[in-house]
Structures are given as structure tokens and as C-alpha cells.
Structure 1
Amino acid sequence: MIETFENEANLFEENAEMLKVLAHPVRLCIVKGLIEKGACNVSTMYTSLDMPQSTISQHLAKLKSSKIVTSERKGLEIFYSVDNEKVTQLIKILF
């Protein structure tokens, strides 16, 4: 029983951290866009969102460190995508 509680507590902690990261409007917008449009590079994102490249990069770093987005290098560019089914389901429920 104690082991079950610890496993659930870990799950609650992981979910709470994911929700904290997604709670920022810009990060939520980035994730929603990646889910809807597929993999994308920073240049396309900052042009579409009309925000500085550095702002988008900082948000992507936070999303990547939380394992909400992944990245893949193609030549000189890095393409970001959402490869987290839990996040994808959550975004679909929200929107």
C-alpha cells in the first residue's frame, strides 16, 4: 500500500510539473501550434508569433527540459515537435 501511494505521489508530482510548464500562454501557444502543424523551427515560430527569437528559444528550452517537446537537427536548423501523448491529449481537451 505504501508503494502504491509513493507511485501515485510521483505521478501527481510529474503531472503538476507538466501543467506548470504549460501554464504560460506563449508555451501553450507553441505546443498547440506544434501539435496542429507538426515539426517547426524557431524562425518559423518567431515570425508566426511576432515575438523575438530569444523569447521563443527560452520557452522552447523550458518545454524541452520538461520533455514536452523534442528536437531534431536537420542540417543547420533544429526542428521542434511534440512527442508526448499525454500533452497532446491535454491540448486537444483544452482546445
Structure 2
Amino acid sequence: MDNYNINDFNEKAEILKVLAHPVRLCIVKGLADKGQCNVSHMHNCLNMPQSTISQHLQKLRAAGIIKGERNGLEINYSICDKRIYNLIKILFEE
């Protein structure tokens, strides 16, 4: 067996844990498809309170999966980890 770096496995497990929630997975899938989006648009698509969406966005941001860029009063979110695009593509391929 090769020498594995347990920190690599911990990092990847944390990413998978954060993505392992239906709402967060839906947000990330939407960002992968659309490129970027703001909370208002997500609110309209997901039909849930903005505060709930914001909590999920914070967890995704803390895990380094997404980033937010301020544009006036809005923050546009996008995926900042290229591995996530590949993962979403694999998960949702038909």
C-alpha cells in the first residue's frame, strides 16, 4: 500500500460532507450550470427563506467550494474549486 497523506483524505471528506445536503447540492449544481448567481435568484428558484439559503452559502464558502463577489448591493456567488465542476458533472450525468 502506498503512503497516503491523511490530510488529503480529511480535506476531501470535509468537502463531501458539506455537499452531502440536498439544498447545498442544489445550489452548487445551479452555480455549475449558470456560472454565478445571487441570493435573490436562489430564493426564487429554491422557494425557501433567504436566511436559510444564506446559512447554506456560508457553509459552502467556509469549505472553499464557492466564493462571493460584491456587485453593488448584491453578492454574486460562483464555484471557486474546479474539482467541484467535475464532481457535479459525474453526479448528474445521464
| Structure whose residues are more often helix by fraction | 1
1:1-95 correspondence to structure 2 within 5 Å? 4-5=3-4, 8-95=5-92
Q: Give how far 1:87 is off.
A: 1.0
Q: Give how far 1:45 is off.
A: 0.2
- 1:12-66 CA deviation, whole Å, 9 max, x = no partner? 0000000000000000000000010111100000111101100100000000000
**Root-mean-square deviation (Å):** 0.8
Structure 1 unaligned regions, length at least 5: none
Structure 2 unaligned regions, length at least 5: none
Q: Give how far 1:73 is off.
A: 0.2
Q: Please state whether the residue corresponding to 1:29 is helix, strand or coil.
A: helix
Distance 1:41 1:85 in 2: 20
Q: Please state whether the residue corresponding to 1:67 is helix, strand or coil.
A: coil
4+ runs deviating over 3 angstroms: none
